[in-house]
Structure 1
Amino acid sequence: MPSPSNSVRIALLPGDGIGREVTEAATFVMEKLARRHAIGIATDSLEAGAFAYQATGTALSDETFDRAKSADAILLGAMGWPGIRYDDGTEIAPQLDLRFRLGLYAGVRPIRAIPGVPLPLSDPRAAKIDLVILRESTEGLFYARGRGTVTDDAEARDTMLITRATTERLSRFAFRLAERRAARMGRSQRVTLVDKANVFTSMAFMRKVFLEIAAEFPGVPADAHYVDAMALDLIRKPWDFDVLPTENMFGDILSDLGAGLVGGMGYAPSADIGDTHAVFQPSHGTGPDIAGKGIANPTAAILSAALMLDWLAMRGAGQGFADAATELESAVDAAFAKGLRSAEFGGVGTKGVAEAIAEQIK
Structure 2
Amino acid sequence: MSALPGRPYRLGVLPGDGIGPEIVPAAVRAVDAALAAAGTPPVQWQELPLGAAAIETHGSALPAVTVETLAELDGWLLGPHDSAAYPEPHRSRLNPSGALRKHFDLYANIRPARGLEGGTAIAPDTDLVIVRENTEGFYADRNTYAGSGEFMPAPDVAIAMGVFTRPKIERIARVAFELARRRRNRLTIVHKANVLQLTSGLFKRVCLDMAEGYPDVAVDDLHIDAMTVHLLRRAGTFDVVVAENMFGDILSDLTGELAGSLGIAPSLNASDDRAMAQAAHGSAPDIAGTGLANPIAMILSSGMLLDWLGTRFGDDRVADAAVRIEAGVRTAVRDGVSTPDLGGTASTGEFADAVVERIAAA
TM-score, normalising length from structure 1?
Answer: 0.92
Structure 2 unaligned segments of length 5 or more: list them: 143-147
Distance 1:240 1:5 in 2: 38
Equivalenced residue count is 351
CA deviations 1:131-153 (Å, max 9, x no partner) are 00011111112243512101231
**1:180 CA displacement:** 0.8
1:112 corresponds to: 114
**1:294 CA displacement:** 1.0
1:74 corresponds to: 76
Aligned partner of 1:111: which letter? A
SS of 1:141's equivalent in the other structure is: coil
SS of 1:306's equivalent in the other structure is: helix
Task: Please tell me whether the aligned partners of residues 49 and 92 of structure 1 are also in contact (alpha carbons under 8 angstroms).
Answer: no
Task: Please tell me whether the aligned partners of residues 103 and 275 of structure 1 are also in contact (alpha carbons under 8 angstroms).
Answer: no
Task: Please tell me whether the aligned partners of residues 142 and 249 of structure 1 are also in contact (alpha carbons under 8 angstroms).
Answer: yes
1:354 corresponds to: 352
Q: Does 1:30 align with 2:31?
A: yes
1:271 corresponds to: 268
Distance 1:4 1:27 in 2: 20
Distance 1:210 1:360, change over 3 A: same
2:179 corresponds to: 177
1:210 corresponds to: 207
Distance 1:162 1:284 in 2: 27
1:141 corresponds to: 138
Q: Does 1:240 align with 2:241?
A: no
1:132 corresponds to: 129
Distance 2:90 2:228 in 1: 31
CA deviations 1:34-65 (Å, max 9, x no partner) are 32223221100001124423553312122110
Distance 1:4 1:32 in 2: 18
2:54 corresponds to: 52
Task: Please tell me whether the aligned partners of residues 11 and 73 of structure 1 are also in contact (alpha carbons under 8 angstroms).
Answer: yes
Distance 2:112 2:342 in 1: 21
Structure 1 unaligned segments of length 5 or more: list them: 121-125, 183-188
Following superposition of structure 1 onto structure 2, how do residues 1-362 of structure 1 map, counting pairs within 5 Å?
A: 1-40=2-41, 41-53=43-55, 55-84=57-86, 86-87=88-89, 90=92, 93-120=95-122, 126-144=123-141, 146-182=148-184, 189-200=185-196, 201-316=198-313, 318-347=315-344, 348-361=346-359, 362=361
**1:291 CA displacement:** 1.1
SS of 1:286's equivalent in the other structure is: coil
- Percent of paired sites with the same residue: 38
Distance 1:138 1:92 in 2: 13
TM-score, normalising length from structure 2?
Answer: 0.92
CA deviations 1:293-312 (Å, max 9, x no partner) are 11110001111111111111
Distance 2:214 2:88 in 1: 45
Distance 2:17 2:281 in 1: 12
Distance 1:167 1:102, change over 3 A: same
Distance 1:330 1:5, change over 3 A: closer
Distance 2:39 2:183 in 1: 27
Distance 1:340 1:4, change over 3 A: closer
Distance 1:296 1:217, change over 3 A: same
Q: Which runs of 4+ in 1 moved over 6 A?
A: none
